[in-house]
Structure 1
Amino acid sequence: MTTERRPANPVVGDVCAELFASLPRSDQRRKGELYVRGLLEAEGRKSVRNIAAHVGGRAAEQSLHHFVAASTWEWAPVRAALARYLEHTLRPRAWVVRPTVISKAGTESVGVAPRFVSGLGQVVNSQVALGAWAVGEEHGCPVNWRLALPGRWRESIRSRSPRIPESELAAHPLDCAVRVADQLQGWAGPPHRPVVLDLADADPVAVDRRLAGTPYICPVGEATRVRCADPALAGAYGRELTARRLLSTARTLCRPVTWPDPVTGRLRTTLVAGARVTLGEGTAPVLLLGEWTDPRERPRHYWISRLDRTPLPAQLRLARLTRTVDADFAGISLPVGLTDFSGRSYAGWHRHTTLASVAHAVRVLSGQAAGQRTACPA
C-alpha cells in the first residue's frame, strides 16, 4: 500500500533561496530546504527521523541530524533575512514578544527545568522560550527566539560552547524579551514598529526602564500601584492608587472599539479608556489603559503604553495582536513542529526553531494558513 504525497509547495523554493543565501555551502542550503519541506509535509511529530523518512529515507537521517545539531551555520543571519523578507511581504503592524511554555517529559532537553506557570497555576517541567513575532493585518510569523536558561544550563552551555556571548544566555524572561525585540528591530530597520510585550508578570517599572525610547504596550495587573498624572481626573490627580481604582474613576470616558478576533473569527466590540500616570518617583508619565466588556463592572484587562501619538482605539487593537499570535501559534507553529526539538544541543534548538519559523512563514505567505487556525481559550 502506498501513501499519496501532496504536491510540493511551490513557495518553499523561492523563500528558502532568499533566506538561506547566508549559508556558506550549497549542501547546507539544500539541506535547509529539505528540512523545511519535511516540517511542512511530514506527518506527526517533526523529529529528525520523521522529517528524514519523508524527504530522503533513512540515509538522510544522520545528515539532517548533523545539519541541525552539529553543523557550523549561524542562525542569526537566517533570522535577519526572514525579518527583512517579512517587512516587505507581511508588512507588520508591530513586533509581538511573548513567552512560550513548552512542556517536556524528561530533564535532558536544553533549558528544561521545573517552573511555576502562572497561567496554569502549577509547576510544569518545561522550557520557556521568548519569541518575537512580526504581526500583520491577518497573520503573524515568529522571527527571533531566546531560551530563558536556568543556572545549571547556562553553566553547561558556557563550558561546552565558550564562543556564545554571555548576553545570549539570559535567564530572566524580561531580559530575553528585550533582547529579541532589539535584535529584530535592528534586522528589520526603519520604520520602527511598536513592541507589544505580552509579559503578564513583568515589573512595569523594569519594563519602562528597559524599553526606554521604544514605543511599546505591555499588560499590567489590576493591583499595580500608579500615581495619577492626568488633570482630566480631578478627583484622582496626584494620588497614588491601584490601576483598578484609578480606572474606575475614568470609566465614564469609555469609548467603544471594534476589533477582529482571530481566535473566534468574529468582530468584537469592547470599551477602552485611559489615564496618564507615573510608575514611581522621577519617572516620566505613561498611559494606563483599561478594557471593559461592561462599563458597570471593573476592567477585564490593563496595559501601560508609550504610544503617545496613537489614538486609544488603535492602541487597543495593537494590544490585541497577541490574539493573532495565539491563533497562529496553535494553527501553524505547532503543526510545523516549532516545539518538537528534543536534545541537549543549544545550537540545535536554535537551528530547529529558526527552520520551523521559516516553515511557518511559508504557510502564511503561500496562503495555506487560511482555515488552519484552531480555537484557543477566549
Structure 2
Amino acid sequence: MTTLAHHTTRTAGVDEILLAEMCAELFASLPRSDQRTKGAVYVRGLLRAEGRKSIRKLAAVSGGEVSEQGLHHFVSSSTWDWRPIRAALARYVTRTIPVHAWVVRPMITPKAGEHSVGVDRGFSAEAGQVLNAQYAVGVWAASDEGASPVNWRLHLPKPWLDDEDKRSRAAIPVGVAAESMAGCAVSACLETGGFWGLPVRPVVLDARSTEVGGTVRRLQAAGLPLFVRVSASQGLVLAQQALPGRVSGPVSAHQLMAEVRHLRRPVHVPGSRSGRHSAATVPVRLPGTGREGRELLLVGHWDGRGGPVGYWLTDITSASLSTLVGLSRLVAGVDDNFDRITDRTGIRDYVGRSYDGWHRHVTLASAAHAVAALSEVAFDRYAS
C-alpha cells in the first residue's frame, strides 16, 4: 500500500514517485513496452502541458521520447483495452484514500461540429441552454480528503446508434445500446460497484430530472446503498405510522419536510461557516410499491437560510444525521475537484472521433487527476 506521507520528490505540484508508481501499476496490462511508455508520456503530458492539451503539446512535453503521430495513434486508433486500466485506477485510488461514497457527476463537453462521437444538440438542464455537446457521466471516489474520477460512461443518443454510417465511423461496439442519462448514471455505478472488486459504498447521485423509481430499483437490486437527491415536488408515500393522522396518498417531499420541520436536529458540517445546519428524516415509500415496498428515509437539510437546501432519499437507515448530511456535502467536493483539477488536466480536450479513443482519453485524464489530487494529499500530510 502506498504511504503518501513518504513522498517527497515533487515537480510542479506533482509527486514524481507517485506518478511513476501509478503508471507502472495502471499500464501493467498493456502487452508491449512501447505502449506502457506512451501511456506514461500521455499522463505526464496532461499534468505538465499548459492550456488545452493537444496531442502536439503532450508529445512536446516528452522531449522527443514519443512522436506526435505515435501518441495520436496510441489513443485514437490503437487496439489496447482501456477497461483493465480503468479498473486498476479505481483499485489504486480506493486503496490509497478512504472512500466514503461513489458520487455521480455529469460532464458536458461543448463541440463546434457534429462528428465527435455522441455529439448532440439539445437543451441542457445543467447549463440552462441549448448546446451542441457530448454528454457523459463520471463516477467519483469521494471522501472528506478529496475526490477522483474512476469510471465514465458516454451518453449515445438514439440517432447515433440507429445510423450505421455514424456507428461505423466512430467504431461504436455492436453491444452498445441506447440509454437515458439516468440509465447511463446507474449503469456506470453498477459497473464500478459490482465488477471491479471495490468496496461497497453509498451511491450519491442527483435524480431530480429523472424517473426516481427506476433509479432506486436498479441500485437496490444490485445491493448498492443509495443516497439520491430528489426534487421538492417528488411524490412519496408515508410509511405506516410515520406521521399519525396523515393520509396515506402521495405527498410531495416539500410538504413532508414542512410537517417534520419541528423535529429537526442540529448537525455538524465540517468546513461550513454557518453553525446553523440541521436535518430531519421521515420514513417513506415510493408511490406504487404498496406496503411491501422497501422503506426509505426522506432526508431534509437546512442551513439556516429558510427552506431545506436539499431533499434526499436513502436506504441507509442506521446512519446518523451528520453522516447522511455529510454524504450530500461530498457533491460540492467533487465539483470543486472537477473545476480545480480535472478540467485543467484535459478531461474535455479529446478531439478524436472514435468511441474507444474517447474512453482511452478520459481514462488517462482520470489517471492524471488522481496523480494531481493524491499529490496534494501526500504533501499536505507531509507538511503537517
Contact 1:230-1:275 at 8 Å conserved across structures: no
Q: What is the alpha-carbon distance in structure 2 between the residues aligned to residue 127 and residue 332 of structure 1?
A: 20
What secondary structure does 1:277 align onto? strand
Partners of 2:166 and 2:379 lie apart in 1 by: 40
Q: Which residue of 2 aligns with 1:355?
A: 364
Is the 8 Å Cα contact of residues 46 and 346 (structure 2) preserved in structure 1?
Answer: yes
1:81 aligns with 2:91: no
Q: 1:14 aligned to 2:24?
A: no
Give the Cα–Cα distance (whole angstroms) in 1 for the partners of residues 332 and 145 of structure 2.
11
Letter in 2 for 1:123: V
Distance 1:19 1:71, change over 3 A: same
Aligned partner of 2:99 in structure 1 is: 92
Count of matched residue pairs: 362
Whether the aligned pair in 1 keeps the contact of 2:192 and 2:198 (CA below 8 Å) is no
Report what 1:290 is aligned to: 300
Q: What residue is the counterpart of 1:254 in the other structure?
A: 264
Q: Secondary structure at the match of 2:357?
A: helix
Most deviating of 134-143 and 29-38? 134-143
Read off the aligned partner of 2:318 and give its amino acid letter: R
**Conserved? CA contact 1:229–1:237, under 8 Å:** no
Aligned match of 2:47 in 34, 40, 45? 40
Answer whether contact 1:293 1:300 (CA < 8 A) is retained: yes
Counterparts in 2 of 1:162 and 1:71: CA distance versus 1, 3 Å: closer
1:140/1:325 contact within 8 Å kept: yes
C-alpha offsets along residues 67-115 of structure 1, whole Å, 9 cap, x if unaligned? Answer: 0000111111001101111121012111111211122222222211112
The one of 305, 317, 323 aligned to 1:308? 317
- Following superposition, the deviation at residue 39 of structure 1 comes to 0.2
Distance in 2, Cα, partners of 1:56 & 1:62: 14
Indicate the SS of the match to 1:72. Answer: coil
1:176 is the counterpart of 2:178: no
Runs of 4 or more, structure 1, over 4 Å off, are: 5-8, 160-163, 265-269, 368-371
Judged with a 3 Å threshold, the aligned counterparts in structure 2 of structure 1 residues 169 and 249 are, in CA distance, closer, same or farther, namely same
**What is the identity percentage for the equivalent residue pairs of Structure 1 and Structure 2?**
44
In the alignment, is the contact (CA less than 8 A) between 2:147 and 2:333 conserved in 1?
yes
Deviations 1:37-57 (CA, angstroms, capped at 9, x unpaired): 000001110111111122235
Structure 2: how far apart are the matches of 1:344 and 1:222? 40
Of residues 236, 250, 261, the one that matches 2:246 is 236
SS class of match (1:86): helix
Aligned twin of 2:71: 64
Q: Which has the higher helix share?
A: 2
Structure 1 position 229, deviation (Å): 1.1
Which position in structure 2 is the counterpart of 1:374? none
1:319-345 per-residue CA deviation (whole Å, 9 max, x = no partner) reads 221111100000110111011111211
The residue number in structure 2 matching 1:375 is none
Query: Where in structure 1 are there 5+ consecutive unaligned residues?
Result: 372-378
Cα distance, 1:190 vs. partner? 5.3
Q: How does 1:189-228 map to 2 (within 5 A)?
A: 189=197, 191-212=199-220, 213-228=223-238
- String of CA shifts for 1:260-318, please: whole Å, max 9, x gaps: 35xxx8576522111111112223221111111238x4322111111122222211111
Q: Which has the higher contact order (CA 8 A, sep 6+)?
A: 2
Once residues 205 and 300 of structure 1 are traced to their aligned partners in structure 2, the CA distance between those partners, rounded to angstroms, is: 22
Q: Distance in 2 between matches of 1:28 and 1:268?
A: 52
Describe the shift of the 1:366–1:206 C-alpha distance in structure 2 as closer, same or farther (beyond 3 A). same
Unaligned runs of 5+ in 2: 1-10
Give me the TM-score of the superposition, normalised by structure 1: 0.89
How much has 1:234 moved relative to structure 2?
Answer: 1.6
Indicate if the aligned counterparts of 1:36 and 1:356 stay in contact, CA closer than 8 A.
yes
325, 333, 338: which one aligns with 1:324:
333
Moved more, 65-74 or 227-236: 227-236
Indicate which of 41, 46, 56 corresponds to 1:49. Answer: 56
Q: 2:116 aligns with which of 109, 113, 122?
A: 109
Q: CA deviation at 1:10?
A: 3.2
The answer to whether the 8 A contact 1:276-1:288 is kept is: yes
Paired residue secondary structure (2:270):
strand
Letter in 2 for 1:139: G
| Matches of 1:228 and 1:311, distance apart in 2 | 21
> Matched residue of 2:318: which SS?
coil
Residue 235 of structure 1: how far off its partner (Å) = 3.7
1:136: how far off? 2.1
Bigger Cα displacement from structure 2, 276-285 vs 338-347: 276-285
In structure 1, what residue type is equivalent to 2:322? P
Cα distance change, pair 160–106 in 1 and its aligned pair in 2 (3 A): closer
Scaled by the length of structure 2, what TM-score is found? Answer: 0.87
CA 1:321–1:364 in 2, change beyond 3 Å: closer, same or farther?
A: same
Q: Distance in 2 between matches of 1:45 and 1:181?
A: 29
Give secondary structure in 1 for the equivalent of 2:137: strand
Is the 1:99–1:199 contact (alpha carbons within 8 Å) kept by the matching residues of 2? no
Encode CA deviations 1:4-58: one digit per residue, 9 max, x unaligned: x959733211110011101111110000000000000011101111111222359
